Structure 1
Amino acid sequence: MSFGPFLLLALLEGTVMAAVLALTAVGLNLVFGVMRVVNVAHGEFFMLGAVCAWFVTWYLPIPPALAWVAALVIAPLVVGAVAAIADVTVLKRLKYDPEATIVATIGLLYIFQQAALTFYGPDARPVEPPFHLRLQFPWFGYSGYKLFVVVAAGVILLGVWLLMTRTRAGLVMRATQIDRDTAQNFGINVDRVYAGTFALGAALAAAAAVLIVPIQQAHYLMGHDPLLLSFIVVIIGGLGSLRGTLVAALAIGLSDGVISMFFSPTLAKIIATLLVALVLVFRPQGLFGAKT
């Protein structure tokens, strides 16, 4: 193949990565934007979503397509419930102190990781995709499921935007984000908002994992890269800015796809890290973040 088809393939792979990364990073940024909590355990919620998807598709005695759909519903609900319990039992008791919550979420990271190792095991296990479709381009064939991942992630992100901008729940979350004390004085149950926000962020990471796990495999250590890349996206886009998160995820995903195709995945990660350093030096609030 000439350069053009290779570039097209790299852009397709980068788009798939950007879609999943945007879904994961939006969950992380949502938690920080509303709660001001840096959730270091966010990658493990991603991992728990993939592991839960494997359990659902493996043990439900239904066709693979229906099992995957069930996993897309069940895994985010289960992981969101786990996150809500973690918020109520750990973060709330720490009064959401920034330094304490970082340490606490690091502890949660290892707890979830070891729990997955105990009950799931050390092996990487595949999840059957809901359908097998190969699209034939003039130069190569490409997985139709990967393109479906992009569409599905876009639909979920649209749902998050509608939730935040068109519903009372989103209005309450944004009010709490702007001024917690004033929101509480107006009768908003801030603790319930925080628990719901933490659960929603974890559920988005779990949904991203269910989408990607038929392409990759479920493994108890798979949360590291999503966590690192999500932090990179959030820092570049701007803490608390969902629009910045989407733009940064698209930029990082496409650049990673192209650089990994023509050079190496390691170089792609190095360049992304350098971008973070430049943003922190010249625009600490991120490209779309507001100055405080």
Structure 2
Amino acid sequence: MDFGPFLLLALMEGLVTAAVLALTASGLSLVFGIMRVVNVAHGAFFMLGAVLAWFVSQWVPGPAGLSFAVALILCPLIVGAIAAVADTVVLKRLNYEPEATIVATIGLLYIFEQAALSFFGPDARPVPAPLSFRIQLPWFGYSGYKLAVVVGAALVLLMVWLILKHSRAGLIMRATQIDRDTARAFGINVDRVYAGVFAMGAGLAAIAAVLIVPIQQAHYLMGGDPLLLSFIVVIIGGLGSLRGTLVAALIIGLGDGVISTFFAPTLAKIVATLAVGLILVLRPQGLFGKRAA
């Protein structure tokens, strides 16, 4: 196969990575943008989505498409509920102090990983894909499900944008982001908003995990790479900027696909980390972030 088809394949694989990464990183960016919480447990929420998807695939009888549809609806709701409880029980009691919440979310990360190890086990386990058809291009065949992942992620991101920009809930979130004390003075239940935002961020990570787990496999330690890459994307795009997160996810995802195909996956992570260093030196607020006054 010539260079051109190899490059096309690398870009298509990178697009799948970018789509899932955009979903995961947007949840992290949303939590930081509104709550100013650096959520180190975000990778654990990603992992929980994948592990729960495996349990659903075992419990729901019938074709793979049915169990996948149930997992896509049920798993983000369960993970979001877990996140809301964690916010209420842990983060709220710490008054969302930056240093304390970092330590607390690190603790939550280990708690969720050990819980998954206890109930799920140490083995990686496959989840059947709901679609099995392949698209035949002139040079190679490509998984139709992977293209469906890109479309599904784009639809979810569009829904998130509509909620944030064109709904009453989004208006309340933005008001809380600007000044939570003033928002509370106008009768907004800030604690409920924060719990909802934390749940929404975790739910986005869970959706990303459910979409990708038929391509990968569910494992109790699988949240590490998504967490690292999400932080890289959020830093490059700009903390709290959804637009920056999407652009950075596209850059990192496509770069990962090309570098992993032609060189090595480890080199892709090294390049992404170096990109973060350059951004922090040349433009600390990120590509689309706002410079602090």
Fold conserved (TM > 0.5)? yes
| Whole-angstrom CA distance in 1 between matches of 2:180 and 2:280 | 27
Give the SS at the match of 1:124. Answer: coil
Alignment-derived partner of residue 217 in structure 1: 217
3-state SS of paired residue (2:38): coil
Q: Is residue 121 of structure 2 the alignment partner of residue 127 of structure 1? A: no
1:25-174 to 2 correspondences below 5 Å: 25-174=25-174
CA displacement at 1:16 relative to structure 2 = 0.2
Residue 64 of structure 1 and its aligned partner are, at CA, apart by 1.1
What letter is aligned with 1:162? L
Cα distance in structure 2, aligned partners of 1:253 and 1:207: 18
- In structure 2, distance between residues paired with 1:211 and 1:60: 17
Q: Structure 1, residues 199-257: CA drift from partner, whole Å, max 9, x if none?
A: 00000000000000000000000000000000000000000100000000000000010
**CA deviations over 1:119-140 (Å, ceiling 9, x no partner):** 0000100001111011111111
Q: Post-superposition shift, 1:61?
A: 1.6
SS where residue 132 of structure 1 aligns? Answer: coil
1:242 aligns with 2:260: no
SS in 1 for 2:93: helix
TM-superposed CA distance for 1:62, in Å, is 2.6
Q: CA deviation at 1:63?
A: 1.8
Task: Supply the AA of the counterpart residue of 2:192.
Answer: R
2:280 is aligned to 280
Q: Secondary structure at the match of 1:129?
A: coil
- Rounded to whole Å, the distance in 2 between the matches of 1:187 and 1:169 is 14
Partners of 2:9 and 2:179 in 1: how far apart?
Answer: 46
2:265 and 2:174 mapped to 1: Cα distance? 37
User: Could you tell me how far 1:60 is from its partner in structure 2?
Assistant: 1.1
Separation in 2, partners of 1:174, 1:260: 38
Q: Which residue number in structure 2 is paired with residue 176 of structure 1?
A: 176
In the TM superposition, structure 1's runs of 4+ consecutive aligned residues that sit over 6 Å from their partners are none
Corresponding residue number in structure 2 for 1:197: 197
Output one character per residue of 1:146-166: Cα deviation in whole Å (capped at 9) or x when no partner: 000000000000000000011
Distance 2:55 2:121 in 1: 12
SS of the counterpart of 2:142?
strand
**Where does residue 13 of structure 1 map in the other structure?**
13
Per-residue CA deviation, residues 31-84 of structure 1 (Å, 9 max, x unaligned), is 000000000000000000000000011111232101100000000000000000
3-state DSSP of counterpart to 1:287: coil
Q: Find the aligned partners of 1:178 and 1:276 in 2 and give their Cα distance.
A: 27
How far does residue 291 in structure 1 lie from its aligned partner after superposition? 1.1
Structure 1: how far apart are the matches of 2:120 and 2:45? 15
Give the count of matched residue pairs.
Answer: 292
SS across alignment from 1:142: strand
Q: Unaligned 5+ residue runs, structure 2?
A: none
| Matching residue's letter, 2:97 | D
Displacement of 1:281 after TM fit?
1.0
* TM-score where L is the length of structure 1: 0.99
Secondary structure class of the residue paired with 1:267: helix
Q: Give the whole-Å Cα distance in 1 for the aligned partners of 2:77 and 2:62.
A: 20
Deviation of 1:282 after TM superposition, in Å, equals 1.3
The SS at the match of 2:217 is coil
Identity rate, percent: 76
1:226 aligns with 2:226: yes
- 2: distance between equivalents of 1:82 and 1:132? 32
* TM-score relative to the length of structure 2: 0.99
Q: Secondary structure at the match of 1:240?
A: coil
* 3-state DSSP of counterpart to 2:228: helix
Could you say what secondary structure the match of 1:151 adopts?
Answer: helix
Give the counterpart letter for 1:144 in structure 2.
Answer: G
